[in-house]
Structure 1
Amino acid sequence: MTSWIDKFGNPDQAIEEAMADLEREKRKLQEVGKVWEEASTTVRAKDNSFAMTFDGRGELSDLTFNGNKYRTLPPAQLAHLIMETLRQGRTQAMEKVQKAMGTDGRPGLDYAGMLNGKADPMEILNSLIGPMLEGVDGLDDGVTGKNEKELRKDG
């Protein structure tokens, strides 16, 4: 990856561009926060025996059974329908968040991991701030000055 200083020719211009990028990311995260707070996704089971509603974070917030059809389903079939509908609803909810994040993502930034809570916060920070620090002596191993292996060894 080309360092920002190489790309822009002088450190002041590189810092200005880095700050502008950081501001754009901040606006995206504010939009994601809005989606998390306000969005709702409802999906129905294939056989229409129930519906599930998910909040903006993809968490199940409501389950509504339509009639008594679910009572006549064999347990394994009902379980399969529940799991299938749950996956479908979470996927649709996460797609709304990804849309808010936009498609011009940062290389190395794991949006899906951020959405499902599995991303390493240090890797997220390094992905956002790391490019600003490339080429600056002593800071190109990440925000802390140490890479992940060194951090884990020290901890």
Structure 2
Amino acid sequence: MATGFPDLNRAIEAFEEKQRNLEEFGKKLDETSTSVDSQKRILTVTMDGHGEIADLKFNNTAYRTMPPTELAAVLLETIRKARDKSLSHMQEIMGEDLLPGLDIEEVNAGRQSVGGVLGKLAEPTLDRVRDVDAVLHNRPRNLNRTAETVEDNDGWER
């Protein structure tokens, strides 16, 4: 490689490795499920690996004598607990290294942007592409990127 060129190959390899890891994460989600029993084991809610209801099973006939509002409350509470447990399980499967800074529970609650996290992950690769472009077109390279610059620019064009 010519002198002065950034190592774009390393950036591409890192990006491809991250992509493979994300695909593996998706496969693990496809293969997992989470189940939660209601109080008194009236029903069981099973969520798939993506946090969707996969099964709802009544374990006995106690629900038949429950007032509708009480049954609805048991259903909603059990579904919420199952969703929370499923999200925690997703976060556990993902670990801290797959998408650093991404908290699935925060994304689900609307307090964190997936695009922002993915943009920060892509930033090192985008920086190297920008550097190659600068070298090829005889423009100055921006070697003095600050944390604020990276934080403000998540790498996605809008």
Q: Same fold (TM over 0.5)?
A: yes
Please name the residue that 1:110 is paired with: 102
The CA distance in 2 between the partners of 1:104 and 1:121, in whole Å, is: 15
Deviation at 1:104, TM superposition (A): 2.7
Contact 1:94 1:115 in 2 (8 A): no
**Following superposition of structure 1 onto structure 2, how do residues 1-155 of structure 1 map, counting pairs within 5 Å?**
11-12=6-7, 15=8, 17-104=10-97, 106-107=99-100, 109-112=101-104, 116=108, 122-134=115-127, 136=131, 137=141, 141-144=153-156, 146=157, 151=158
Q: Secondary structure at the match of 2:81?
A: helix
**How much identity, in percent, do the aligned residues show?**
32
Structure 1 residues 31 and 96: alpha-carbon distance in aligned structure 2, compared to 1, 3 A threshold: farther
Count, aligned residues:
134
Q: Which runs of 5+ in 2 are unaligned?
A: 132-140, 143-149
Contact 1:35 1:97 in 2 (8 A): no
Q: Secondary structure at the match of 2:41?
A: coil
Flag the structure with larger Rg.
2
Deviation at 1:42, TM superposition (A): 1.7
Structure 2 length as normaliser, TM-score?
0.64
Q: Name the amino acid aligned to 1:11.
A: P
Which 10-residue stretch deviates more, 35-44 or 15-24? 15-24
RMSD: 3.3
Q: Secondary structure at the match of 2:54?
A: strand
Q: Secondary structure at the match of 1:110?
A: coil
Q: Secondary structure at the match of 1:81?
A: helix
Structure 1 length as normaliser, TM-score?
0.65
Q: Name the amino acid aligned to 2:104.
A: A
Deviation at 1:94, TM superposition (A): 2.1
Which 10-residue stretch deviates more, 52-61 or 126-135? 126-135
Q: Name the amino acid aligned to 1:32.
A: F
Q: Secondary structure at the match of 2:50?
A: coil
The CA distance in 2 between the partners of 1:121 and 1:143, in whole Å, is: 12
